[in-house]
Chain A
Amino acid sequence: MANTHVNAIVVGAGAGGGVVAKELAVHGLSVVLFERGGWPDYDAHINDELISQRTQVLGSAFGPDHRKHPRVSIQQDGSKQVVTPISGDYGHIAACVGSGTVSYGAMAWRFMPEDFKLKSTYGKVEGSTLDDWPVSYEDLEPFYEKAEWEIGVSGDDSQNPFAPPRKKPQPMPPFEYNRAGRILAEAGSRLGLHPFPIPMLRNSVPYNGRPACIRNRTCVGFACPVDGKNGTHNTVIPTAMATGNCEVRTHCQVAEVMSDASGRVTGIKYFDGEDKGQIQTSDLVIVAASATETARLLLNSKSDLFPRGLGNNYDWVGRNLQGHAYTGAVGLYDFEITDFAGPGASFGMCDFNHHHDGIVGGGMLANEFNPLPYLFSGVRPPGAKPWGREHKDFQMKNIKRMAVLQGPIQEIPNFEARVTVDPSVKDHWGIPVVAMSGSRHPIDYEHCKWLSSKAEMVLKEAGAVQTWQRVGGRGLSGGQHQAGTARMGNDPQSSVCNRYGQVHGIDNLFVADGSLCVTNGGFNPVLTIMALGYWVSDYITRNWNASKFKS
């Protein structure tokens, strides 16, 4: 039996797609929201470190299934390796309703105004496709606000002198510091820095009918046992469903966006939960499947008119793959600096985000999420033996005596860091998979060394008896903050979408996830992706009645 035609198909029920589904549904459009995973279930994995989003050695708590979703990682020497979520190098992102917003650490950063204009602020960077966004902070500000209030943020930007201007405060008061947060924030203040509580998509007080956070030790990487963490799965997606206009179709793998001879898209081909091929037609298609999977879907959607895939006439789909080069330092103390009040990260500083000589962009610093026992077994000073008595003794003595200060540094986009599809490797349904290749721009490593030295300085000021730097910024980009593969721009020859996320030349095809981001900020990107979801939806709903998109 054929599926009933709908107004809009949204592919991917994560931070961007969940918001779009809700906005379109409340504006009266009929929507099917497709998700390759299922609804998240806390009880299926509780706080199992080995099946979590922190480490996937035995599987991913919230998908994707490692037996069905291979990818290809192309090394610097050109050799190819098939990778899975449990093998690493995968660019892993949760595959369930809510996606990463179920299990994230939930930092709720707004990008700063400079983050949207890196090129005009810092100039050209050799070997980079660095550019300004076609959207300014001022354009997105109302949509950041909407995300903060509808999904729920605890924070107080008035404590952050570098915070971008806002019209309305965050809806909930900030969280108090945990012990490491308090000690490191005091050290930061003594150094003349400006620490403040990290804004969080968690409830510091009951909000929207759900309870306050209980400071669970195992927060990031896991679902919340009391539903005090706010994602699209427990906010906007239920709102969309409650309108009666939105169906969430889970366990469906979308294979292709279909287009007709006039160059408009007509719907999608997908495989349902029984692996049966299906077709869903619609007036509009919005792709929000993450920077890797969105690029894959566009590249796999080929036709006579679009022989290189949708939006890819100029070979920009999949280009400029970015993530965040995490960088920082580790400090050991002669007292228990970690009290395990969840999620662990509690204070941040934006002193290093912009306007430092020789640095393009920068990144915020925050204390790290609570250590997990197995992952902590991989944290040792340089040169330490990774097994034996000394290794075990370190584990028992130091798991509560360690503090990590680190941050996501702004990556400088690079045309050769990219997602392609590999026609020789297929997933469970026979669809060519994501292949990731290229590496970060060399300047990222220089930036990382700089930020790590700042982190180490604060750890020492806080009284660390031993410190060492953890410098990131080399190798393949991507990861859970993946971005940039369908960038927005005013020039169709050097971007994939226009400033409203509409694919150049295809009126009824949109992108609404991190793929749009021209640059990825020096912050965790989720609130920006949510704001982009509202921004794209606003354009669609304002223009809907002009029947521009209707078939």
Chain B
Amino acid sequence: MSIDRRTFLLTGVAGFGSIMLMPSCVTRTTSSWQFFTDEEAACVIALCEQIVPADEHGGGATKAGVIHYIDRQLVAVFDYDQVIYQQGISALQNSCLDLHGKRFETLDFDTQYTLCTAMEEGKLPGEHWGELDQGRFFRLVISHSMQGFYGPPRHGGNKDYMSYKMMDLDFPLVVGRNHYEHLS
């Protein structure tokens, strides 16, 4: 599926090793998150809630803890996405301050929705984004939100299997064959 595909520009003989094996290069001890600052997390939580909102079926990305999934993976499998998250959040916030004088997470739901649609279409003010493709950043957050919301709880999201319950996907997978696991 195209939304899963992230590719890496070939940067020479040593490129692969240096990209893939680079340790987490950001240490920010004041945050309660593994990767995000508290301010960044507040923005991403609001963004994910736009992508998977609470509705008549039940809670959305916030309640499912999608932020925990993304935060955890950004210091693990998705470590190469750290920079795009930092730059994307910063560019989104600058866009919001420019257009509405407020940070993204403090805007009302409908305004956030309009901003997300603009970001998806590449229509937020270009001067805040520089080289960064705003549509690409948003599609990345969409992919990660879907994984966090619809993937298994063991990776930090989909708290208490809430999306599975909303889809009425019953457990166990086969009667009498459940596999319990401890969730950290």
Q: Would you call A81 and B10 a contact (CB within 8 A)? A: yes
Q: How far is the CB of B114 from chain A (nearest CB, A)?
A: 12
Chain B residues closer than 8 Å to A396, beta-carbon distance: 57, 166-167
Interface string of A46-59 (1 = CB under 8 A from B): 11111000011111
Chain B residues closer than 8 Å to A342, beta-carbon distance: 173-174
Q: Quick one: closest B residue to A376, CB to CB? A: B150
Q: Would you call B8 and A87 a contact (CB within 8 A)? A: yes
Partner of A214, one of B13, B19, B177: B177
Partner of B146, one of A56, A218, A226, A374: A374
Q: How far is the CB of B126 from chain A (nearest CB, A)?
A: 22
A389 at the interface (CB under 8 A from B): yes
Q: Would you call A215 and B174 a contact (CB within 8 A)? A: yes
Interface string of B1-40 (1 = CB under 8 A from A): 1111111111011011001110000000000000000000
> Which of the listed residues A59, A89, A340, A377 has the most CB atoms from chain B within 10 Å of its own CB?
A377
Interface string of A218-250 (1 = CB under 8 A from B): 100000011000000000000000000000000
B154 at the interface (CB under 8 A from A): yes
Complex Cα gap A389–B53 (Å): 6
Chain B residues closer than 8 Å to A72, beta-carbon distance: 10
B164 at the interface (CB under 8 A from A): yes
The answer to whether A50 and B152 touch (CB under 8 A), given A84-B20, A374-B146, A389-B53, is yes
Q: Would you call A87 and B5 a contact (CB within 8 A)? A: yes
The answer to whether A50 and B151 touch (CB under 8 A), given A374-B146, A387-B51, A389-B53, is yes
B90 at the interface (CB under 8 A from A): no
Q: Quick one: closest A residue to B176, CB to CB? A: A214
Q: Quick one: closest B residue to A213, CB to CB? A: B174
Complex Cα gap A388–B8 (Å): 28
Q: Would you call B177 and A225 a contact (CB within 8 A)? A: yes
Complex Cα gap A502–B9 (Å): 39
Q: How far is the CB of A101 from chain B (nearest CB, A)?
A: 21
A305 at the interface (CB under 8 A from B): no
Q: Would you call A424 and B7 a contact (CB within 8 A)? A: no
B179 at the interface (CB under 8 A from A): yes
Chain B residues closer than 8 Å to A125, beta-carbon distance: none
A26 at the interface (CB under 8 A from B): no
Tell me the residues in window 46-97 of chain B with beta carbons closer than 8 Å to chain A beta carbons: 50-53, 55, 57, 60, 73, 77
Complex Cα gap A57–B148 (Å): 11
Partner of A388, one of B15, B53, B139: B53
Tell me the residues in window 177-221 of chain A with beta carbons closer than 8 Å to chain B beta carbons: 214-218
The answer to whether A425 and B169 touch (CB under 8 A), given A55-B1, A386-B3, is no
Q: How far is the CB of A284 from chain B (nearest CB, A)?
A: 34
B155 at the interface (CB under 8 A from A): yes
Q: Would you call A48 and B154 a contact (CB within 8 A)? A: yes
Q: How far is the CB of A400 from chain B (nearest CB, A)?
A: 7
A530 at the interface (CB under 8 A from B): no
Q: Give the A-binding residues of B (Cβ under 8 A).
A: 1-10, 12-13, 15-16, 19-21, 50-53, 55, 57, 60, 73, 77, 113, 116, 120, 139, 142-143, 145-147, 149-152, 154-155, 163-164, 166-169, 173-174, 177, 179, 181
Q: Give the B-binding residues of A (Cβ under 8 A).
A: 43, 46-50, 55-59, 66-67, 70, 72-73, 80-84, 86-89, 214-218, 225-226, 340, 342, 373-378, 386-389, 391-393, 395-396, 399-400, 424-426
13 of the cross-chain contacts (CB-CB < 8 Å) are A47-B179, A55-B1, A58-B147, A87-B6, A88-B2, A89-B5, A215-B174, A216-B174, A342-B173, A386-B139, A387-B120, A396-B166, A425-B13
